[in-house]
Amino acid sequence: MHTNLAHSPVAPGGTKIALLVMDGLGGLPLEAGGKTELETALTPNLDALAARSVLGLTVPVAPGITPGSGPGHLALFGYDPVKHAIGRGALEALGADLDLGPEDVAARGNFCTVDEGGAITDRRAGRIPTELGQELAGLLRAIRLEGAELFVETVKEHRFAFVLRGPGLGEALSDSDPYTGGNRPLPVRALEAGSERAAALANEFIRRARRVLADRQPANMVLLRGFARMPRLAGFQELYGLRAAAIAVNGMYRGVARSAGMTVLDVPGTAPEDEFAALEQAWHQYDFFYLHIKRTDTAGEDGDFWRKVRAIEEVDGMLPRLTALRPDVVVVSGDHSSPAFMRSHSWHPVPTLLYSGLVCADGVAEFGERACARGGLGMLPATDIMPLALAHARRLAKYGA
């Protein structure tokens, strides 16, 4: 919980807040003196909204820190992304786009090589090609466990994400990975009462995986480590008094939103227009809407400057569908920057726009990195966005007299 709110209780209200997250929004020019992706994009609707808004640059975790999408989103949702770290297994599952529920237990998986006596000779199975990893993941997916579902998703080469879903599973589990070659994989042990069932299921999975993979040398065994559930967060209803809905296509974002107590809406397809349709349909049922756009980040990570420009322009074209709903507060931001120039996430602060009838508009009528640097919000931690959004929605009480 954002510490600000410990002192100013939330007030009930009939107002609505929309948080539009363009993943990896912030960018860089391709050459010195040039424009970023957002500055290059033709965004008449975002610019018009900017003119009635206050702008700034948000810092997701801390200056210089490149955030993953998990911490980037936790910060935008008002949770300290350092205090509420997401465990390694849960991160791997979210990263592999598995739709992680609050009771699911996730782990990082490796294919590995064992000798005839069962001792590990290569923890990474010679880094098998990703395509082979995907084929073998199919074999693992066919394993059936009693009383629990399992999910396997290839990450890259020998790595995969593993998820157990079922009632009464604990996350306090030891790794099966002994970390040193020559040893045999370890049995997964329950480290706390309440995790015994999960340990038994994990061991049963490993036992069957070994049988299924027996003749697939060098990937003839699996290792599991970093078991974790999603962090247990106080939800939006409890923290902010908001009935919150999430509109996102990819599992990672659905998982983080669910862990923040949002209702994850069904989206009829995978395109932004499908997400805006879901927004319109659910508008009267919730107070807060998180709408996630993935394409901006994918283009940035692919190093495709112009595809990122077009992804931003596509969102700009749909913005009137959001503003037509007459939200009291609109935030447009990103969970981190993903400059195409860098082909990766980056630490650069993220262009952010806060619209409400109660902002002191800063007169900056353009939505872009350099425009936001001149904005009235200045540079601010991303965790300040939710308190500011609540305030502008008249949902925070006064502190003191």
d(C-alpha 247, C-alpha 233), whole Å: 19
* Binding-site member from 15, 36, 154, 338 for a copy of itself (CB under 8 A): 36
The one-letter code for the residue type at 33 is: G
The one-letter code for the residue type at 350 is: V
Q: Would you count residue 62 as binding a copy of itself (CB under 8 A)?
A: yes
Site for a copy of itself in 331-360 (CB under 8 A): 341-342, 345-348, 357-358, 360
Nearest Cα to Cα of residue 373 among 350, 347, 340, 346: 350
Q: Would you count residue 251 as binding a copy of itself (CB under 8 A)?
A: no
Report the chain's terminal Cα–Cα distance, integer Å.
24
Q: Which residues contact 115 (CB under 8 A, 6 or more apart)?
A: 121
Q: Which helix (DSSP H) or strand (DSSP E) does residue 321 occupy? A: helix 305-323
* Binding-site member from 247, 267, 318, 388 for a copy of itself (CB under 8 A): 388
> Which residue stretch of 70-78, 144-152, 232-240, 304-312 sits at the interface with a copy of itself (rule: CB under 8 A)?
70-78
Q: Would you count residue 362 as binding a copy of itself (CB under 8 A)?
A: yes
d(C-alpha 298, C-alpha 338), whole Å: 9
# of chain residues touching a copy of itself (CB under 8 A): 67
Minimal distance, residue 255 CB to a copy of itself, in Å? 11
* Binding-site member from 13, 29, 101, 178 for a copy of itself (CB under 8 A): 29
d(C-alpha 249, C-alpha 292), whole Å: 8
Nearer to a copy of itself, 166 or 241 (CB): 241
Q: Would you count residue 159 as binding a copy of itself (CB under 8 A)?
A: no
Q: Would you count residue 108 as binding a copy of itself (CB under 8 A)?
A: no
d(C-alpha 66, C-alpha 56), whole Å: 18
d(C-alpha 323, C-alpha 391), whole Å: 19
Q: Which residues contact 361 (CB under 8 A, 6 or more apart)?
A: 51, 52, 53, 54, 376
The site map against a copy of itself for 80-99 (x = CB under 8 A) is: -xx--xx----xx-xx----
> Which residue stretch of 56-64, 183-191, 206-214, 265-273 sits at the interface with a copy of itself (rule: CB under 8 A)?
56-64
* Binding-site member from 30, 48, 52, 191 for a copy of itself (CB under 8 A): 52
Q: Would you count residue 14 as binding a copy of itself (CB under 8 A)?
A: no
Q: What is the CA radius of gyration of the chain?
A: 23
Q: Return the biggest CA–CA distance within the chain.
A: 75
Strands 17-22, 329-333: pairing is parallel
The site map against a copy of itself for 367-386 (x = CB under 8 A) is: --xx--xxxxxxxx---x--
Q: Which residues bind a copy of itself (CB under 8 A)?
A: 3-4, 7-8, 26, 28-29, 32-33, 36, 52, 57, 61-72, 81-82, 85-86, 91-92, 94-95, 341-342, 345-348, 357-358, 360-363, 369-370, 373-380, 384, 387-392, 396-401
